[in-house]
């Protein structure tokens, strides 16, 4: 079976680099910042695969490069090196490294095949535009043109994410944090993406609100069989949602495995520390 998303040697350096740290950034033993030139490894030689319908977790402390990884996959940063392929059966150009394509083509792939939900709803939503309008914007980017169908799709998604449909003309600025997160999820799902990227989506929410958002994600995942990358520093969230997990530190993957194996038989020193730090 072919993976849906394939990432090879993905690297992002923040800074120009120097003789000491090029091409791949400073060695892991030295951390993530080059002591000579100050270049930081956001993401170093990361490879991963996701199969259709699979949920992959990414854990690590803040600053470990989890969000950078997701944003590179979403074409928000320009990668220093690496390859990304999506095998979705839609394009003839499957064997083309998406990182080497034009930004127009990258936007096209993103609009058709991806959805993202950020920790901070201000990044994913236009707060002053109506919730329906936020969803419409994504649908327009994905090529939808019929206004009444766009409206129908938006109200369906808001209903599924438990936002009262009579509030679809209100801007997210009026909503609570949990509701904003659910509008973001509705927007991210609007184009029927094959890969959904979730970047710390429950961080900072009250426990009961967090529970509702997680239940929503779990149910949607099972129903739509959508592949996901779930980034979280919360091991409980990872354990609940993900079958396989990567552990990141200093921009690098230090360990990967089945989620239960990582939690019960962690091999790397850092993973052992992480697991034993759990409340």
Partner 1 sequence: MLEVKNLSKTFTIHILGGKVIEGFGSISLRVAPGEFLGLAGRSGSGKSSVLKCVYGTYLPTTGEVWFASESHGRVNLARGPEQTILQIRNREMGYVSQFLRIIPRVAAVDVVAEPLLRLGTDPDTARGRGAALLERLMIPAKLHDAYPATFSGGEQQRINIARAVIWEPRLLLLDEPTASLDRGSQEIVIGLLKELKQKGTSMIGIFHDRASMEAIADNVLEMANGSKGHGLS
Q: Report the interface residues with partner 1, using CB under 8 A.
A: 1, 51, 211, 214-215, 222, 240, 243-244, 257-258, 260-261, 264-265, 267-269, 272-273, 276
What letters, b where the CB count within 10 A reaches 16 and e where it falls short, cover 1-11?
eebbbbbbebb
Kindly tell me which of 67 and 256 has the beta carbon lying closer to partner 1. 256
Task: In angstroms, give the least distance from the CB of 45 to partner 1.
Answer: 20
Task: In angstroms, give the least distance from the CB of 152 to partner 1.
Answer: 26
Task: In angstroms, give the least distance from the CB of 214 to partner 1.
Answer: 8
Task: In angstroms, give the least distance from the CB of 248 to partner 1.
Answer: 17
* Residues 100 and 132 sit within 8 Å (Cβ to Cβ): no
Kindly tell me which of 11 and 161 has the beta carbon lying closer to partner 1. 161
Structure tokens at 252: 């690098």
**What is the rounded distance in angstroms from the CA atom of residue 128 to the CA atom of residue 267?**
48
Structure tokens at 26: 């400073």
* Residues 205 and 229 sit within 8 Å (Cβ to Cβ): no
Kindly tell me which of 4 and 189 has the beta carbon lying closer to partner 1. 4
**What is the rounded distance in angstroms from the CA atom of residue 217 to the CA atom of residue 40?**
33
Task: In angstroms, give the least distance from the CB of 265 to partner 1.
Answer: 4
* Residues 209 and 177 sit within 8 Å (Cβ to Cβ): yes
Kindly tell me which of 56 and 189 has the beta carbon lying closer to partner 1. 56
* Residues 129 and 136 sit within 8 Å (Cβ to Cβ): no
Structure tokens at 178: 């949990």
* Residues 228 and 191 sit within 8 Å (Cβ to Cβ): no
Kindly tell me which of 45 and 54 has the beta carbon lying closer to partner 1. 54
Kindly tell me which of 131 and 271 has the beta carbon lying closer to partner 1. 271
Q: Which of 188, 187, 182, 246 is nearest to 214 (CA)?
A: 182
Task: In angstroms, give the least distance from the CB of 208 to partner 1.
Answer: 10
């Amino acid at each position: 079976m072919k993976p849906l998303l394939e990432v090879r040697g993905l690297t992002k350096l923040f800074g120009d680099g120097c003789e000491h740290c090029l091409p791949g950034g400073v060695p892991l033993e030295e951390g993530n910042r080059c002591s000579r030139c100050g270049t930081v490894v956001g993401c170093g030689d990361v490879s991963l695969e996701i199969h259709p319908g699979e949920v992959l977790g990414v854990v690590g402390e803040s600053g470990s490069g989890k969000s950078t990884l997701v944003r590179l996959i979403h074409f928000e940063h320009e990668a220093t090196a690496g390859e990304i392929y999506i095998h979705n059966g839609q394009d003839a150009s499957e064997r083309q490294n998406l990182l080497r394509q034009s930004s127009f083509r990258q936007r096209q792939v993103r609009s058709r095949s991806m959805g993202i939900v950020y920790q901070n709803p201000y990044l994913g939503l236009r707060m002053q535009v109506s919730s329906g309008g936020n969803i419409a914007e994504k649908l327009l980017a994905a090529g939808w043109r019929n206004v009444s169908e766009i409206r129908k799709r938006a109200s369906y998604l808001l209903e599924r994410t438990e936002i009262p449909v009579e509030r679809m003309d209100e801007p997210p600025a009026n909503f609570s944090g949990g509701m904003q997160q659910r509008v973001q999820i509705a927007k991210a799902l609007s184009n029927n993406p094959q890969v959904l990227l979730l970047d710390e989506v429950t961080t900072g929410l009250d426990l009961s609100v967090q529970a509702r958002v997680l239940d929503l994600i779990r149910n949607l995942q099972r129903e739509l069989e959508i592949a996901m990358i779930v980034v979280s520093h919360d091991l409980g969230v990872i354990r609940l949602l993900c079958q396989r997990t990567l552990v990141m530190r200093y921009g690098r993957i230090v360990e990967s495995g089945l989620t239960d194996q990582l939690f019960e038989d962690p091999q790397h020193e850092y993973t052992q520390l992480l697991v034993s730090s759990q409340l």
